[in-house]
C-alpha cells in the first residue's frame, strides 16, 4: 500500500483529511439556530444535540466528551460553539482551544436570549472562519497519520464473504504502517467474541472483550429482548443471514488480523497506534458517531442491500459486494466489490483497488455521501435524565 496521502497538518500535530468549519449546538435550545447558521454559510458542517441540562452520570460525561471531541477532531479547521448554558458552552470551547484551532462561543444569555441575534453573530463568525480555513493547504503525510473507523449496516452474506474482509485488508495495512483503526457494534461480536479474544494483546484486553459482550447480552435479557429476530433484523434475514453468530462472524472480518490493543468506550480517544474495539451500540448513527468522536478521520462502511447513513465530519466510504445493490445504488456506493462476489476478480485485486480509493478520499476526493450532503454526527444516550 502507498505509504502516504495529502492531508491538513494541525497546530497540535494531528492531521485532517478534510478542512471543515463546524457550527455546533451543545444544547437543544440552540439547535434550530445552528441549522440556520449552517444554511447561511454553505460549506459549514452542523452538529446538534437535543439534550442539555438534566443529564446525569455517564450520560452527562458522554455528551461532553463526544461534543468536545467533534470540535477537536482533526478534520475540523475551526469551530463555533453555541448553546443556552454559559458554563457548559465555555467549558467545551476552552477544551477545544487547547488544540490551537480557532474556536468561538456564543450563548443565548449574551445575546439577550434572542435566537435571531445569535444567528446574525454566528453567521458572521462562521463566514470568517470558512474564509480563513480556505487558506490551508494539503501536505504529504505518512499513512501512519491515518485513523480508520469500520462499520457495517444492513448486511447480507456478501458482507461477511467479501466486503468486510476487503475492509480488513485495509485495516491490516494501516496498522502495519503505524496507523490506528477501530470498530464497535459490541452486540455483533456475540458468538465470535472468543475469536476476538484470541487476538487480544494481553489477558486484560481479552477479558474486556468477553465482558463487553456479556454486558450487552445481559442488558438484552433484562430488557426482555429476544435477540432471535431482532439481530439479525428483518432486513438481514430477508437478505439471507440466519443467526447472530453468522452475522457476527461476518462483522468481525472487517477488523482484519492485527492484534487488538484495547477496548475503549464510546467517543474515548484511542491511546496509541494499532487496532482497537469500541464497546458501543450497533445502530449505525450512534456507532459511527462514536468512531468519529474517537478520532477516525475516515469511515469504511460496508453494506449488503444498502445503507445511506454517513458521518458529516469524516468522509464515509460505502462498500458493497451485493450485485443487485451495486447496480441499483450507483450514487450511494463508493466501491463496488460485486465482481469478487461473482468470482470474476480476486479478493487481493479488489483490495488493491480499494486501497487506492481510500488514499484518494483521504487526499480530497469526495464520497457520494459528501456530494449528496447525507452526513450527520450523533451522540448516544444511555439512561434517564432529571
What pLDDT does 229 receive? 57
Low-confidence residues of the chain: pLDDT under 70: 1-2, 228-231
| Residue 197, CA atoms < 13 Å, CB-side half-sphere | 17
In three-state secondary structure terms, 196 is: helix
Q: Within 10 A of 128 (CB to CB), how many other CB atoms are there?
A: 16
Cα–Cα distance measured from residue 358 to residue 125, given in angstroms and rounded to the nearest whole number? 33
Determine how β-strand 20-25 pairs with β-strand 76-83: parallel
- Residue tagged 460549506 (cell numbers): 43
Tell me the torsion sign for CA atoms 381, 367, 4, 11: negative
What pLDDT does 232 receive? 73
Span 284-320, pLDDT tens digits? 999 999 999 999 999 999 999 999 999 999 999 999 9
Query: ∠ CA(137), CA(141), CA(147), 5° rounding?
Result: 105
What pLDDT does 207 receive? 98
Are 338 and 323 contacting, i.e. CB atoms less than 8 angstroms apart?
Answer: yes
| Distance between first and last Cα of the chain | 51
Span 248-285, pLDDT tens digits? 889 999 999 999 999 999 999 999 999 999 999 999 99
What pLDDT does 152 receive? 94
Amino acid at each position: 500500500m502507498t505509504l502516504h496521502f495529502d492531508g491538513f497538518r494541525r497546530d497540535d500535530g494531528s492531521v485532517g483529511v478534510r478542512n471543515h468549519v463546524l457550527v455546533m449546538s451543545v444544547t437543544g435550545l440552540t439547535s434550530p439556530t445552528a441549522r440556520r447558521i449552517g444554511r447561511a454559510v454553505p460549506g459549514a458542517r452542523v452538529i446538534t444535540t437535543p439534550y442539555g441540562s438534566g443529564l446525569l452520570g455517564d450520560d452527562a460525561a458522554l455528551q461532553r466528551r463526544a461534543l468536545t471531541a467533534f470540535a477537536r477532531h482533526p478534520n475540523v479547521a475551526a469551530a463555533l460553539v453555541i448553546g443556552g448554558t454559559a458554563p457548559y458552552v465555555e467549558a467545551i470551547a476552552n477544551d477545544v482551544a487547547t488544540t490551537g484551532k480557532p474556536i468561538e462561543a456564543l450563548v443565548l444569555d449574551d445575546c439577550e436570549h434572542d435566537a435571531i441575534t445569535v444567528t446574525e453573530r454566528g453567521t458572521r463568525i462562521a463566514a470568517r472562519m470558512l474564509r480563513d480555513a480556505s487558506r490551508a493547504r494539503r501536505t504529504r503525510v505518512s499513512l501512519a497519520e491515518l485513523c480508520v473507523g469500520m462499520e457495517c449496516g444492513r448486511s447480507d452474506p456478501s458482507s461477511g464473504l467479501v466486503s468486510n474482509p476487503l475492509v480488513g485488508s485495509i485495516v491490516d495495512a494501516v496498522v502495519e504502517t503505524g496507523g490506528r483503526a477501530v470498530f464497535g457494534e459490541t452486540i455483533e461480536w456475540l458468538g465470535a467474541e472468543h475469536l476476538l479474544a484470541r487476538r487480544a494483546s494481553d489477558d486484560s484486553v481479552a477479558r474486556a472483550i468477553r465482558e463487553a459482550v456479556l454486558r450487552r447480552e445481559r442488558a438484552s435479557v433484562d430488557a426482555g429482548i429476544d435477540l432471535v429476530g431482532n439481530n439479525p433484523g428483518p432486513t438481514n434475514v430477508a437478505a439471507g443471514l440466519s443467526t447472530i453468530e453468522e452475522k457476527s462472524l461476518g462483522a468481525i472480518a472487517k477488523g482484519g488480523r492485527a492484534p487488538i490493543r484495547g477496548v475503549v468506550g464510546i467517543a474515548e480517544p484511542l491511546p496509541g497506534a494499532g487496532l482497537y474495539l469500541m464497546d458501543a451500540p450497533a445502530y449505525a448513527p450512534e456507532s459511527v458517531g462514536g468512531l468519529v468522536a474517537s478520532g477516525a478521520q475516515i469511515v469504511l462502511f460496508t453494506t449488503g442491500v444498502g445503507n445511506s447513513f454517513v458521518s458529516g465530519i469524516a468522509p464515509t466510504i460505502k462498500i458493497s459486494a451485493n450485485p443487485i445493490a451495486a447496480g441499483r445504488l450507483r450514487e450511494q456506493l463508493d466501491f463496488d466489490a460485486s465482481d469478487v462476489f461473482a468470482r470474476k476478480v480476486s479478493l487481493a485485486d479488489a483490495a488493491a483497488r480499494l486501497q487506492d480509493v481510500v488514499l484518494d478520499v483521504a487526499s480530497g476526493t469526495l464520497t457520494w455521501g459528501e456530494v449528496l450532503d447525507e452526513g450527520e454526527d450523533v451522540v448516544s444516550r444511555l439512561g434517564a435524565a432529571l
